[in-house]
Structure formats: structure tokens, C-alpha cells
Chain A
Amino acid sequence: GAVVSQHPSWVICKSGTSVKIECRSLDFQATTMFWYRQFPKQSLMLMATSNEGSKATYEQGVEKDKFLINHASLTLSTLTVTSAHPEDSSFYICSARKTGVSNQPQHFGDGTRLSIL
């Protein structure tokens, strides 16, 4: 149980386009999901916390207009990288925790490798 699906796993697109990444909790409800970014050979950095039915909370230094987050249901959060540029190329990973269970660990998706040409 506790599976998180992330799609797509790899995307290559031209500079200036927008890219949407989906994060789904397949067998549990998640009021809160998290989005992380990982540059090559570096650690994961929390970008934002996605809250179902309300606005996302962004970490300091993360542009909210650049990284649009929508959490329209208890099982789906999306991250849209708008007007992507080569410096946005990175590995993006989402995670989710079961609603109402505070001591549960986060379950991670398999990540999305984003390459902007």
C-alpha cells in the first residue's frame, strides 16, 4: 500500500514552453503533498507544500508564478513549470502523506526528469 504515482517520468521540451507534472496517491487520500527539486549530485530541496482545496505554501526563494501548484482533489497534485528555461532542468519529486495520520512517513513518487533545451 501507500503508492504514489508521478507522471511523466521524463520530459524534454523547448525553452519557453510550460510543463505539467502530476502526482497521484493511488491507494490513500492525501490532504497534503510536497514538491521537491534535486539538481545533479545534490540533495532534495523542498519547493512547496501543496494543500488540497487551498493555496500552496512556497519555500523561500521559490517563485510561485513560475511553479504553479494545483491540488484539486485528495489524490492529485500538479506542478506546472511555466515558461521553462534551461536553468529549470532538474529532477522533480513529489511525496504524500496519508490524511489524518500525523506519524506516517511521506511516500515518494519516482520523480520526473525535466530537460529544457
Chain B
Amino acid sequence: AQTVTQSQPEMSVQEAETVTLSCTYDTSESDYYLFWYKQPPSRQMILVIRQEAYKQQNATENRFSVNFQKAAKSFSLKISDSQLGDAAMYFCAYRRAYSGGGADGLTFGKGTHLIIQP
């Protein structure tokens, strides 16, 4: 079974600074997807960024970028120029690629609470 580990329960960063959230995972699959979701106090799940395992290039979405190290099974999220609105819980998630034999739900890490200090 696959597992996702987020070792930082809480992180704090000054506004406008850069912060990196860590995520490691374990799987025997070679093809899969990785995601970072943001969950603000409203508890809505917001997709921040995703990475296909077969792509070597790291995904980037504006101020958000990932460092995907497939051999090390590491998938960290870097937030540049942190803003107050970035404050939330951040969950790393894994899903194996759809093989036609059935769809799989997401496996989530325990989350990292990101605090932005003004």
C-alpha cells in the first residue's frame, strides 16, 4: 500500500519570504500522480499543483513550484513571496495512474499547517 508522509506539522514564514513544505511517499508503482492541496479554515479543498510521475520537469504554478525527486520519492512544495492568503493546511496527496482496471482515490499525508506572519 502507498503511504504519504509530511514530517512538518506546522511551518511559519514571514510575509514575502519563501517557504518549503516537505513530502515523501512510498509506492511500488512506476506511474502515478502527486498533488498539493490547500485547505483554508473553510475546509474547501483547493488544488495547488500537481505532478505526473513520468514527467521529469518540475511543475510550476505562479508562486508555487515543486521539487520532484522520483528516485528519492520526495515531492516538496515551494511557495515564493508568501502572502497572508497562503495561510492554510497543506496536504500532499498521491494517486496511482488510472490503468483502466478501476479508479483510485487519493492517499493524503497528515498535512502541514502553514502560518504567515505579517
Contact = CB atoms under 8 A, between A and B. Distances in A.
A46 B107 contact: yes
Contacts of B97: 102-103
B44 A44 contact: no
Nearest to B103: A32
A43 B109 contact: yes
B59 to A, nearest CB: 12
Interface size class of B (residues with CB under 8 A): 20 to 34
Contacts, number: 56
Interface residues of A, number: 24
A38 B111 CA distance: 12
A28 interface: no
Residue in B50, B102, B103 with the greatest tally of chain A CB atoms within 10 Å? B103
B35 A105 contact: yes
A31 B102 CA distance: 10
B33 interface: yes
Given A91-B43, A102-B97, A108-B44, A43 B110 contact: yes
A43 B109 CA distance: 7
Interface centre among A38, A43, A95, A110 (most CB of B within 10 A): A43
Interface string A82-117: 000000000101010100001101101011010000
Contacts of A113: 43
B108 interface: yes
Interface of A: 31-32, 34, 36, 38, 42-46, 49, 57, 91, 93, 95, 97, 102-103, 105-106, 108, 110-111, 113
